[in-house]
């Protein structure tokens, strides 16, 4: 890299007279200087221009080009050793992301002061170069430069838990433990390291709590999944800014409570606070999780109305939301409108197509991505392998899987192995899937074995299923899903003694089966249903509609698939249990709550059962409605008696 001096002496095409005119044209009296070091009023002037004015102009620089022009002017006039100008140049290069020039300036500085050290540490810390930031701090101490409160609060951002504890001791030695920003930074170190108790002790012993410390503690709680504790602090805040609202909303969205995120967002709007980009990204994530298309469309309209640019980041979030809410048309419309598409934007569309079972479209998008020179990422391959799995494209899946390492140098991770196991398992190639899992260098992830166990249940492979469960139990890797899958496997072949034995083990171990839950959004409100639910305000109308639906089904020759009921009960009871599955309650509610002919969108937390799949196909034909169901594995688009999955899921 060319040196700072060589770079700046060229002046980048700016003539001396032009630079002088630029400087003289500044209305310096209107600029508020935020200097850290005092300027000497007796310092050398240049053509009537004092270093104070150069310092203020450096503060105002908005681009690297402009800053380098000023830097060239400084060097031309022999001010390259001026401590304040050097400090301000170094700090500005850092803030504009050009750390190379900052380091060059730092290395040319004789006996750097605490301010210079703090600036170079801060520049690396905010750019996530934590190791380098910490090394500069160590160098600072080795040169007997004593850190101040800002230095410590800055370097703590670059610390892991153990190094943070060491700095905590130094904070006490320097008498800076009462500084709000230092203590807040320490809280952040402890919460990032999972030591929420120590963070809370620091918080509780603060002389007073301000907006920053409260938001930091709430952030710590949300990052560690302690949402109720976070909400208690949030509700007790006398003052809240957009950041504090964002932390709580995003905490709900990232920890499996998207409905709470949407409710809190509406409260934020009622409080007359204007959401920013971070707010919108969090809420779009929440909309996608619950399939709240109406709310997601409102967010999109809000973005358009307020002129918020839909760059690759925001565009990807919108694409992801539309895909997860069942609107591929909306997703593609947003995708096509993104000007500078990056790999993340392409990944969102590829994963969306894959989840809907549009495997060919996913492959075409993959080829388009490579065609414009974008390299696929790990996420890209997860999307493509899932697309292959949903269509049973075994040979294509093997080709994609092998190309990861051979063509792109990407080592497959457990997620990619999981996609391949799912692909092979669903296609009935369980022996191949078993060999693939065993081919991994170290013990496979329990989720991977669970995927294979699920395939055993699907194809009723008792011996292999029992072998997998025994393996997981021996190594202490069995979880609730392991027992549930084994119980389902026994039930699928009518081995009720085996079912009873596994359920006894589950009861003894305190393992609970996850209940089926389906949700539907109507008039911007998400309604949730469990199997046999009686809690909904419109319960009576819903069950009346279910009774009517059952009449339609019988008239069309429907016969309940009672063999899939995993309980040792009579056939009539099995039929009753099928009638009240959660997705049927959600569909019934959708039929009585939406306009005839409109699409009904359902989100279910478990895989849709074969009987409900057949019933939903018939309902779509009888009512003339399109019904979109997103289950744990994929989307199902039911139209006129058929499903987009081709009965392969």
Asked if 163 and 190 count as a contact pair (C-beta separation under 8 A), the reply is no
Choice between 109 and 514, residue whose per-residue pLDDT is larger? 109
Instruction: Give me the half-sphere count of Cα atoms (radius 13 Å) on the Cβ side of residue 395.
Output: 0
Measured torsion, CA atoms of residues 296, 298, 302, 308, in degrees rounded to the nearest 10: 20
What CATH number should be reported for the domain holding residue 425?
Answer: 1.25.40
The average pLDDT across 459-484 equals 87
Contact indicator for 262, 271 with CB cutoff of 8 Å: no
Question: How high is the pLDDT of residue 442?
Answer: 64
User: CA angle at residue 287 from 646 to 321, to 5 degrees?
Assistant: 55
Average pLDDT for residues 480-487, to the nearest whole number?
84
Give me the domain span that covers residue 495: 414-509
Backbone φ and ψ for 249, nearest 5 degrees, come out as -65, -45
**Position 180 in a domain:** no
Cα(82)–Cα(74) distance, rounded to whole angstroms?
9
489, 501 Cβ separation under 8 angstroms? no
Judge if 436 and 484 occupy the same domain. Answer: yes
Contacts of residue 492, Cβ cutoff 8 Å, sequence gap at least 6: 457, 460, 564, 566
Question: How confident is the model over 505-516, as a mean pLDDT?
Answer: 79
Q: How far is 414 from 450, CA to CA, in rounded Å?
A: 12
Q: Which residues pair with 600 in a beta bridge?
A: 627
Instruction: Report whether 584 contacts 496 (CB < 8 A).
Output: no
pLDDT tens digits for range 72-116? 888 888 888 888 888 999 999 988 888 898 899 999 898 999 999
Q: How far is CA 597 from CA 591, 611, 620, in A?
A: 10, 24, 10
Structure tokens at 97: 């992301």
Mean pLDDT lowest for which of 147-151, 266-270, 458-462, 542-546?
A: 458-462
Closest CA to 506 of 516, 498, 494: 498
**Is 236 a member of any domain?**
no
The CA-atom distances, in angstroms, between 85 and each of 53, 469, 484 are 10, 68, 68
- Claim to verify: residue 543 and residue 637 sit in the same structural domain: yes
Q: What percentage of residues in the chain have a pLDDT greater than 70?
A: 90
Model pLDDT, residue 38:
43
Instruction: Choose the final residue of a domain: 484, 509, 534.
Output: 509
The gap from C-alpha 604 to its chain's centroid, in whole angstroms, comes to: 21
Task: Give dist(CA 368, CA 636) in Å, integer.
Answer: 26
Separation CA 225–CA 576 (nearest Å): 38
**pLDDT tier, 484 (very low <50, low <70, confident <90, very high otherwise):** confident
Reading the block at residue 466, the tokens are 């029992």
Q: Which of 461, 487, 509 is the last residue of a domain?
A: 509
Strand order in the sheet with 525-530: 525-530, 517-522, 600-604, 627-630, 635-639, 642-643
pTM of the model: 0.80
* Residues 166-184 pLDDT 10s: 899 999 999 998 888 899 9
Question: Are 435 and 546 within one domain?
Answer: no
545 and 469 within one domain: no
Quick one: pLDDT at residue 140? 94
Give 19's pLDDT tier (boundaries 50, 70, 90): very low
Q: How far apart are CA 337 and CA 370, in angstroms?
A: 19
Phi, psi of 144, rounded to the nearest 5 degrees: 60, 35
Residue 31 pLDDT exceeds 60: no
Higher-confidence position of 53 and 233: 233
> At residue 230, what are phi and psi to the nearest 5 degrees?
-65, -45
Rounded Cα gap, residues 446 and 468, in angstroms: 10
- Yes or no: say if 139 and 105 are a contact pair by the CB < 8 Å rule: no
Burial of 32 (0-12, 13-18, 19+ CB in 10 A): exposed
Asked if residue 460 belongs to a domain, the reply is yes
* Number of Cβ atoms within 10 Å of the Cβ of 294: 15
Question: 535 and 490, same structural domain?
Answer: no
Give a yes or no: residue 64 inside a domain: no
35, two tokens: 């200097």
Same domain, yes or no: 525 and 483: no
Residue 259: predicted pLDDT: 92
Distances (CA, A) of 543 to 145, 548, 626: 76, 9, 21
Q: Is 156 left (phi over 0), alpha (psi -120 to 50) or beta?
A: alpha
Q: Which of 426, 477, 478, 475 is nearest to 452 (CA)?
A: 426
Reduce the secondary structure of 400-412 to three states and give it as a string: HHHHHHHHHCCCC
As a dihedral over the C-alpha atoms of residue 114, residue 116, residue 120, residue 125, rounded to 10 degrees, the angle is 40
Does residue 351 form part of some domain? no
Cα separation, 34 vs 458, whole angstroms: 67
Query: Could you tell me the CA-to-CA distances from 457 to 77, 235, 445 in Å, in that order?
Result: 80, 47, 19
Where does a domain end: 493, 509, 525? 509
Same domain membership, residue 498 and residue 533: no
pLDDT at 215 over 90: yes
Reading the block at residue 164, the tokens are: 């943070």
* Cα angle: 138, vertex 142, 144; to 5 degrees: 120
Q: Picking from 85-99, 139-153, 326-340, which range would have the lowest pLDDT averaged per residue?
A: 85-99
Asked if 388 contacts 397 with a C-beta cutoff of 8 angstroms, the reply is yes
Q: Are residues 491 and 557 in the same domain?
A: no
- Bridge partners, 79 (sequence order): none
For residue 195, name the pLDDT band (cuts at 50, 70, 90): very high
Residue 629: pLDDT band by 50, 70, 90 thresholds?
A: very high
> Over pLDDT 90: what percentage of the chain?
62
Q: How far apart are CA 140 and CA 147, in angstroms?
A: 8
Please indicate, yes or no, whether residues 536 and 573 belong to a single structural domain of this protein. Answer: yes
Bridge partner residues of 635 (DSSP): 630
pLDDT given at position 354 = 96
Helices (H), 493-532: 496-509
State mean pLDDT over 381-392: 95
How high is the pLDDT of residue 221? 96
Interval 344-349 mean pLDDT: 97
What residues pair up with 274 in beta bridges, in sequence order?
none
Residues 504 and 570 in one domain: no
Helix (H, G, I), strand (E, B) or coil at 277: helix
Cβ distance 513 to 506 under 8 Å?
yes
CB-based contact 417:437 (threshold 8 Å): yes
pLDDT at 208: 86
Q: How far is CA 126 from CA 87, 94, 121, 278, in A?
A: 18, 9, 9, 18
Query: Is it the case that residue 315 has pLDDT exceeding 80?
Result: yes
Nearest to 381, CA basis, from 563, 461, 406, 372: 406
Q: Does 487 lie in the same domain as 455?
A: yes
Q: What HEC string does 576-634 produce?
A: HHHHCCHHHHHHHHHHHHCCCCCCEEEEECCCCCHHHHHHHHHHHHHHCCCEEEECCCC
580 in the same domain as 535: yes
- Would 439 be classed as within a structural domain? yes
Q: What pLDDT sits at residue 2? A: 44
* pLDDT score of 565: 60
Token representation of residue 314: 């925001």
Please report which confidence band the pLDDT of residue 570 belongs to, taking 50, 70 and 90 as the band edges: low
Q: Is residue 476's pLDDT more than 50?
A: yes
Domain membership flag for residue 574: yes
Let me know if residue 491 belongs to a domain: yes
Split into its structural domains, the chain has a count of 2
CB-count exposure of residue 512 (10 Å: 0-12, 13-18, 19+): exposed
Nearest to 502 by CA among 520, 485, 527, 519: 485
Which of these ranges, 49-53, 68-72, 112-116, 134-138, has the smallest mean pLDDT? 49-53
């Amino acid at each position: 890299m060319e040196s700072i001096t060589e770079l700046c002496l060229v002046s980048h095409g700016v003539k001396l007279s032009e630079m002088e005119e630029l400087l003289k044209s500044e209305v310096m009296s209107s600029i508020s200087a935020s200097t850290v070091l005092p300027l000497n009023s007796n310092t050398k002037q240049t053509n009537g221009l004092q270093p104070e004015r150069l310092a203020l102009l450096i503060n105002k620089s908005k681009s690297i080009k402009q800053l380098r022009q000023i830097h060239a002017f400084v060097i031309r006039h022999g001010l390259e050793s001026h401590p304040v100008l050097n400090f301000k140049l170094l700090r500005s290069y850092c803030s504009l992301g050009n750390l190379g020039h900052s380091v060059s300036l730092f290395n040319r500085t004789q006996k750097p002061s605490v301010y210079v050290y703090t600036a170079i540490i801060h520049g690396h810390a905010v750019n996530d170069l934590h190791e380098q930031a910490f090394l500069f701090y160590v160098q600072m101490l080795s040169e007997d430069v004593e850190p101040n409160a800002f230095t410590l609060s800055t370097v703590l951002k670059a610390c892991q838990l153990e190094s943070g504890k060491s700095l905590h001791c130094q904070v006490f030695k320097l008498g800076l433990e009462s500084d709000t920003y230092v203590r807040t930074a320490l809280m952040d170190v402890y919460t990032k390291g999972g030591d929420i108790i120590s963070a809370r002790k620091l918080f509780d012993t603060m002389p007073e709590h301000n907006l920053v410390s409260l938001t930091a503690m709430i952030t710590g709680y949300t990052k560690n999944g302690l949402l109720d504790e976070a909400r208690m602090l949030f509700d007790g805040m006398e003052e809240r800014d957009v950041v504090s609202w964002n932390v709580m909303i995003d905490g709900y969205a990232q920890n499996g409570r998207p409905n709470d995120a949407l409710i809190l967002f509406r409260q934020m709007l009622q409080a007359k606070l204007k959401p920013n980009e971070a707010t919108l990204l969090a809420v779009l994530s929440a909309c996608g999780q619950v399939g709240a298309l109406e709310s997601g469309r409102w967010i999109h309209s809000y973005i358009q109305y307020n002129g918020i640019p839909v760059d690759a980041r925001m565009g990807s979030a919108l694409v992801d939301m539309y895909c997860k809410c069942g609107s591929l048309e909306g997703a593609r419309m947003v995708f096509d409108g993104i000007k500078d598409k990056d790999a993340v934007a392409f990944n969102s569309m590829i994963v969306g197509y894959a989840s809907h079972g549009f495997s060919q479209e996913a492959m075409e998008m993959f080829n388009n991505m490579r065609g414009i020179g974008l390299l696929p990422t790990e996420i890209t391959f997860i999307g493509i392998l899932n697309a292959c799995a949903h269509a049973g494209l075994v040979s294509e899946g093997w080709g994609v899987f092998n190309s990861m390492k051979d063509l792109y140098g990407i080592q497959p991770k457990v997620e990619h192995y999981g996609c391949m196991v799912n692909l092979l398992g669903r296609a009935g190639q369980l022996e191949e899937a078993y060999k693939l899992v065993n081919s991994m260098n170290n013990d496979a992830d329990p989720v991977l074995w669970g995927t294979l166990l699920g395939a055993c249940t699907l194809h009723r492979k008792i011996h292999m299923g029992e072998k997998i469960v025994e393996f997981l139990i021996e190594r202490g890797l069995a979880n609730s899903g392991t027992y549930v899958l084994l119980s389902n496997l026994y039930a699928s072949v009518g081995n009720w003694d085996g079912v009873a034995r596994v359920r006894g083990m589950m009861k003894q171990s305190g393992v609970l089966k996850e209940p089926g839950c389906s949700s539907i959004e109507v008039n911007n409100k998400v309604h949730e249903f469990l199997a046999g639910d009686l809690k909904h305000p419109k319960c009576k109308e819903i069950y009346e509609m279910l009774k009517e639906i059952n009449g339609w089904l019988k008239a069309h020759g429907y016969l309940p698939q009672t063999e899939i009921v995993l309980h040792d009960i009579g056939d009539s009871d099995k039929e009753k249990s099928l009638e009240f599955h959660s997705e049927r309650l959600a569909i019934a509610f959708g039929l009585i709550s939406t306009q005839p002919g409109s699409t009904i969108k359902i989100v279910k937390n478990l895989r849709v059962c074969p009987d409900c799949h057949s019933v939903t196909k018939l309902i779509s034909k009888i009512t003339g409605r399109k019904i979109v169901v997103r289950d744990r594995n994929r989307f199902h688009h039911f139209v006129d008696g058929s499903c987009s999955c081709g009965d392969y899921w």
